[in-house]
Amino acid sequence: MLKKLLTINGINKTVVVDPEATLADVLRKQLFLTGTKVSCNEGHCGACSVILDGKLVRSCIVKMKKVEDGANVTTVEGVGTPQNLHPIQKAMVFHGAAQCGFCIPGFVVSSKVLLDNNPSPTREEVRTWFQKNLNACRCTGYKPIVDSVMDAAAVMRGDQPADSIEFKLPEDKRIWGTKYPRPSAVAKVTGTAEYGADLALQLPAGTLQLALVQAKVSHANILSIDTSEAEKMPGVAKVVTYKDVKGRNRINGLVTFPTNKCDGWDRPILCDTKVFQYGDAIAIVCADTKEQALAAVEKVKVELEVLPAYMSAPAAMAEDAIEIHPGTPNVYFEQGVVKGEDTKPIMESAAYVVEDSFYTQRQPHLALESDMGFAYYDEDGRLTIHSKSIAVYLHAIMIAEGLGLDPAQIRMVQNTAGGTFGYKFCPTIEALLGAACMATNRPVYLEYDYEQFITYTGKRSPFFMNIKFGADKNGKLLAMETDWSVDHGAYSEFGDLLTHKGAQFMGAGYDIPNIRGLGRTVCTNHAWGAPYRGYGSPQSEFASESLMDELAVKIGADPLELRYLNAYRPGCTTPTGQTPETHSLEAMIDLLRPKYKAAKEKAAQATTPEKKKGVGVAIGIYGAGGDGPDTAEVWADMLKDGVLISTTWGDHGQGADAGALGTAHEALLPLGVAPEKIRLELCDTGKAPDGGPAGGSRSQVVIGNAIKVCCDNLLDGIRKPDGSYMTYDEVVAAGLPTHYTGRWTSPAAIGDPDTGQGNPIDNYMYGVFMSEVTVDTKTGKVVVDKMTIVANVGKINNKAVVDGQIYGGISQGIGYALTEDFEDIHKHTNMVKCGIPFAKDVPDDIEIIYYDDPRKTGPFGASGVGELPNTAPHAAIINAVYWATGARVRELPAYPHKVLAALAEVK
């Protein structure tokens, strides 16, 4: 052990440390300075950045033996505090730079060192600094962070007034439509927001630390599991196997369609007879320390009979493939599309026919924070599970029967989550925690390292798509034929619904009177399919938006004008036969057109044989709501000094708190309650009613409407005859209720599994994307120079939040287009290898043009936003590559070698 005296944030600290311990671990686990976050734990993401003797270091790779005695360390806690924010932190609050916020302490510290050394950086210098210092952000597309640093620098130099980075309440005191800072912002920029791993350090003494025995193969029969040696290891309280799981030992996959041949009970909590995918949990070691648990994991003996692993849909569909889940065919669900006339004769007679095949890869979510959670019995004896769940009520249902409980016996709580982007729509760690807590009757904590997080959580499922358009001589679409296979990985949950999305979104945006199609859900041995922003649309729309460009080429039409010609207009219907609730695409294209023309001209002028420039467009559409009637419940309680709004609005980092607050504040305007007097309870089934899960951009619309209903009920309940409102004391004195309930259900009907026809969602988001790219024809590397989006998200609740969603979504779209994949389970094991975009991989120039289009069924006119920016930005990029080079990339991501291969086809 080393004894060192360190000056940490100006305070002398004597520490006794293992020489091999990292500075990050010592700061977090010994000194409990949990503002410093650990994400990759390999030094390539910058979340753990601290200042060591004046220099920026990534503390997760600094060994304590290398830290000199007497060293000076500054962590985010030393940069500023909630009561005394540093200008960098103030600016980040102002610009909404903290979404999930997990990377933000690292950015704050990194920015501090930058400005300490360069008080007047250019935007490019800021971006280069973050690139050089490997500060990764998955939420923001970096733009709000760079904005913050530039403004903070200006304020610090005195070039800008101090209050230029402070939110000012407008005179009408409405926060709806403003950049009111999200309630969690200050905590996030100061490192005082507590994520799962931070809370874990604060659990009661006696909490058991868990480690998993996981499969290292993708498909196998389990012959035996021997835990006897592991049980004898020091500190081990219990090794939990399937035998200890009290219930059905399966996650309830919640089948949507009765035609699904899988009953949804295919995913084991702990493997019993088979391993279905790499990483599958076979046993849980419960020990006093994590180190003890990990040591005992090595002592659990698992005997396997390895089976052939089917790592893609075609492989699992091969004739000789055995059933992965015995008794259930590998192709377990089919989704048809039958709209209008038979397409075969139309295709035969159409003036233009184009057809192509496309593939979209298995996109990893790459949240900065890995996956973790803890469980204990609460004061009412409820099994209480804290995790990153964005679907707390749903997850109780999904894991209850497997654990042998009634859902009401489970209380689910969402911790502050360092990003999910949808993967936490699926249970990950929850049932494991439940099983371990039940087996030991002790509080338990389980955390995945980043590799476990990548390899053992769900992914955006690959689609193998074939698509065909028939058009008349003017380019007006007459018919579409589609065929798609969804590689849904080892487990079925939501797989039928995802396949159904192909019927909704292939060809979305266009008036296509006649469609025939068939999609299928395929079980494979790769990572199970989990929701991801845009769920089904990025895949589907990549196919149709790529083909739309191919049609334009064939016709010799301008791709934007071809889209304009075919875009939804009154009288048309969506691919599922639904009448769009609004017709804004023409007007949106009108907005984009002049920019498009200018961009094309600029590209034409700047293009060179080595650096070819091009402009691509794509329409992106997604529904804001769950499929079919979608309900949320909300409670409003009058408090002595405000109102408490309770529901379950899960947070990915997208701004659930800002969303709920903005909506409630607007709904309660007549009451004149200040925003800081509206308390929120959004994450705990023990305290809040069921608002539904945070997926499909449903929350603002469905929960937002329920908030409005609930607040209206409250106002009605306390309104005086003269139209004014009673105070809390008056309400209590009058014996009137202080508690109000509101419910809202979306007027929708899910589509038919055979025909795809229906009105599944009543409120959509619309976008027109434009991408300007440079293709290096020697290396095949694509650089996105600018992204533009015309966005119709209805009325905007919180401008900073909505801007941030779009910047971040587009950034993920760039990764999807060019760099991201989770294909090789042994190689794609960290965020760099999985292709996360760093600061310079995302253009500084992202232009958002909002098309103001209040929705009738959106609360105060709002639609959703989160999925929209992921729907089709990648299609616009791949189209831009085509228009720059003539090379068509059909299989994502467009790695340089694929671009070079496509370029070779052109030559």
Residue numbers of the site for a second copy (CB under 8 A)? 1-3, 10-19, 21, 29-32, 65, 81-84, 187, 192, 194, 199, 201-206, 234-235, 237, 288-292, 374, 376-379, 384, 386, 413, 415, 443, 684, 686
Q: How far is the CB of 449 from a second copy (least distance, A)?
A: 16
Residue 339's H or E segment, with its range, is strand 331-339
d(CA 706, CA 524): 39
Residue 804 buriedness (CB in 10 A; 0-12 / 13-18 / 19+): buried
Instruction: Considering the complex, state which of residue 82 and residue 854 has its C-beta at the smaller distance from a second copy.
Output: 82
Buried b vs exposed e over 219-257: b needs ≥16 C-beta within 10 Å? Answer: bbebeebebeebeebebbbbbbbbebbebebbbbbebbb
d(CA 489, CA 311): 8
Instruction: Considering the complex, state which of residue 30 and residue 631 has its C-beta at the smaller distance from a second copy.
Output: 30
Q: How far is the CB of 379 from a second copy (least distance, A)?
A: 5
Bridge partners for 428 per DSSP? none
Q: How far is the CB of 3 from a second copy (least distance, A)?
A: 6
Q: How far is the CB of 829 from a second copy (least distance, A)?
A: 25
- Angstrom distances, CA of residue 680 to CA of 177, 637, 645, 676: 19, 10, 5, 10
Instruction: Considering the complex, state which of residue 31 and residue 438 has its C-beta at the smaller distance from a second copy.
Output: 31
Instruction: Considering the complex, state which of residue 10 and residue 258 has its C-beta at the smaller distance from a second copy.
Output: 10
Assigned token pair, 488: 């849904």
> Which of 513, 517, 505 is CA-nearest to residue 478?
513
Q: How far is the CB of 499 from a second copy (least distance, A)?
A: 38
d(CA 542, CA 817): 10
Instruction: Considering the complex, state which of residue 324 and residue 413 has its C-beta at the smaller distance from a second copy.
Output: 413
Centre a 10 Å sphere on the Cβ of residue 18 and count the other Cβ atoms it contains: 14
Bridge partners for 847 per DSSP? 788
Q: How far is the CB of 158 from a second copy (least distance, A)?
A: 22
Token look-up 């009673």 returns 726
Instruction: Considering the complex, state which of residue 641 and residue 824 has its C-beta at the smaller distance from a second copy.
Output: 641
Q: How far is the CB of 116 from a second copy (least distance, A)?
A: 17
Residue 743 buriedness (CB in 10 A; 0-12 / 13-18 / 19+): middle
Q: How far is the CB of 726 from a second copy (least distance, A)?
A: 23
Q: How far is the CB of 78 from a second copy (least distance, A)?
A: 9
Token look-up 């049980």 returns 231
Centre a 10 Å sphere on the Cβ of residue 789 and count the other Cβ atoms it contains: 28
Token look-up 């440390």 returns 17
Measure CA of the first residue to CA of the last residue in the chain; give whole Å: 64
**Within its chain, how far is the Cα of 320 from the centroid?**
37
Q: DSSP string of 523-545?
A: --SSPPB---TTTTHHHHHHHHH
Residue 867 annotated to the active site = yes
d(CA 300, CA 283): 8
Catalytic residue among 666, 867, 891, 905: 867
The torsion region of residue 528 among left (phi > 0), alpha (psi -120 to 50) and beta comes to beta
Assigned token pair, 722: 């003269």
Token look-up 């089904």 returns 536
> How many residues in the chain?
907
Residue 885 buriedness (CB in 10 A; 0-12 / 13-18 / 19+): buried
Q: How far is the CB of 23 from a second copy (least distance, A)?
A: 13
Instruction: Considering the complex, state which of residue 477 and residue 680 has its C-beta at the smaller distance from a second copy.
Output: 680
Instruction: Considering the complex, state which of residue 646 and residue 763 has its C-beta at the smaller distance from a second copy.
Output: 646
Instruction: Considering the complex, state which of residue 16 and residue 604 has its C-beta at the smaller distance from a second copy.
Output: 16
d(CA 275, CA 282): 8
Instruction: Considering the complex, state which of residue 14 and residue 608 has its C-beta at the smaller distance from a second copy.
Output: 14
> Which of 584, 538, 509, 672 is CA-nearest to residue 863?
584
Q: Which residues are catalytic?
A: 867
